[in-house]
Amino acid sequence: MNAVIAAVGIMLILSLSRVHVVIALIVGALVGGLTGGLGIDATLKAFNSGLGGGATVALSYALLGAFAVAIAKSGLAHALADKALAMVDRQHANGGGNVKWLLIGLLWVVAIASQNILPIHIAFIPLLVPPLLYVLTKLQLDRRLIACVITFGLITPYMFLPVGFGNIFLNEILLANVARSGVDISGINVTHAMGIPALGMVFGLAAAFISYRKKRVYDLEKIEKVEQVAVQYNPMSLMIAGLAIAAAFIVQLLLDSMIIGALVGFLIFSVSGIVKWRDTDDLFTEGMKMMAMIGFIMIAASGFAEVMKATGHVQTLVESSASWINHSKGIGALLMLLVGLLVTMGIGSSFSTVPILAAIFVPLCVQLGFSPIAIVCIVGTAGALGDAGSPASDSTLGPTSGLNIDGQHHHIWDTVVPTFLHYNLPLLAFGWVAAMVL
């Protein structure tokens, strides 16, 4: 049996059975390594060597958690929440409908902007989402919808718009690897190539609004315990908080480091006195604990991905799919997309998947007679598939980190499963259609 199929299958089954994702990743990696013939020692060696790959992301999340707690201490985010709550109270007669759409629209726009206009990726989530949870709970908004809205904003821009992270994915990774595999990409409009798959994401988002349109009740007391709803703030603290956020984002953009950006922001709070020196240690620890789970998952996911690569079965899976195609373009496109879905769900990164897939898929597409633009579409969609719906992807871990601070949003059943159903399935269908018509 193919080691990738065995490892990803075990990892998903355990995750869906409510086994913690970190444990599921470790067990899945062990099963994959043993199935791939590595043996226990080689499997553990590969897993341990891969752990360092997730350390940077884990430390970034930990510092962002501390920064988020400092912002909460300043009262900036709560000032925003108070304004929204006042609007809800004024519109109590109609259930706060206008505020609901305003908040959903805000999160949607910020998520999209985090990929291009202000490319901070998921750094905004622990800063913006937790303070708004009290308002979202008062509105009885289903958090599964919010998870789908944020995940849409984290994925669709990079797979469609060649700006920011999209420039990296579409131009530096997708087009570059397709060209490296021998296809002439001159004159190809990558936005045109990925347009139909992007419509699949839009279709999935629209479906999510239907699926999660009903109200859902959450416990307000649990939010009050972790979010300190009655935080006191003044104009000076709000101004310093705004300065800290701006400085953090500017430093991150200049140095391309969430770690340094979050550290600078936290230091501004400390030096200004918003966070008292005697409270710095406790507050920093509190913030790091808040983001600990997502950090450990990212570390374990890096080890899991390294084991998959060490088995060599990722390449075997891609190559063996070619023997099942039997010169059929329709079957070929479907199998390539399914393999991309499986590989990305295991590795957890579309950006890492494309180079692996392109080396085999591009020659196969040429042999089957696909046009250059269709080849770009197939490889790009195969890479993007699985980013939503993967337990180890930052596109699902990010929303969970903001929505689960009070323990009322399950990572697998409230983020992973909803985003898998609403994005991977439409993306698979629209991607196949695009491969057939381009």
Q: Is there a domain that residue 6 lies in?
A: no
For the segment 125-173, what is each residue's pLDDT rounded down to a tens digit?
A: 877 888 788 888 888 999 999 999 999 999 999 999 888 788 888 988 8
Q: What's the token pair of residue 222?
A: 């649990």
Query: Does the residue 113 lie in any domain?
Result: yes
Residue 413 is which amino acid? W
pLDDT given at position 74: 73
Supply φ then ψ for residue 185, to 5 degrees: -100, 5
Q: Is the pLDDT of residue 414 over 90?
A: yes
Question: Which residue carries 């929303």 as its tokens?
Answer: 399
pLDDT at 52: 74
d(CA 3, CA 39): 12
State the total domains in the chain: 1
**Residue 349 confidence (pLDDT):** 72
Helices 39-51 & 292-311, crossing angle to 10 degrees? 130
Q: What is the pLDDT of residues 77-119, one digit of tens each?
A: 667 666 766 766 666 555 556 778 888 998 999 899 888 776 6
Query: Which residues span the domain enclosing 215?
Result: 56-169+205-292
Q: What is the pLDDT of residue 233?
A: 63
Of 134-143, 315-324, 377-386, the poorest mean pLDDT is in 315-324
Residue 101 domain-assigned? yes
- Express as a percent the part of the chain with pLDDT over 90: 27
127 within a domain of the structure (yes/no)? yes
Asked whether the predicted pLDDT for residue 266 surpasses 90, the reply is: no
pLDDT-derived band of residue 364, with 50, 70 and 90 as boundaries? confident
pLDDT at 309: 80
Q: Does residue 303 sit within a domain?
A: no
Establish if 7 belongs to a structural domain. no
Taking only the tens place, the pLDDT of each residue in 336-346 is 899 889 888 87
| Residue 199 located in a structural domain | no
Tell me whether residue 138 is in a domain. yes
**By CB neighbour count within 10 A (0-12 exposed, 13-18 middle, 19+ buried), where does 186 fall?**
exposed
Contact 62, 292 (CB under 8 A): yes
Nearest to 154 by CA among 412, 428, 384: 384
Single-letter code of the amino acid located at 162: P
CA-based nearest residue to 133, from 400, 418, 420 = 400
Rounded to an integer, the average pLDDT of 16-26 is 85
State pLDDT tens for residues 189-237: 999 999 999 999 999 999 999 999 999 999 988 887 766 555 566 777 7
**Residue whose C-alpha is closest to residue 9's, from 296, 302, 317:** 317
* 3 state SS of 369: coil
From 59-68, 264-273, 388-397, the region with the lowest mean pLDDT: 59-68
CA distance to 38, 46, 348, per residue, from 43 (Å): 6, 5, 19
Average pLDDT, rounded, for the chain: 83
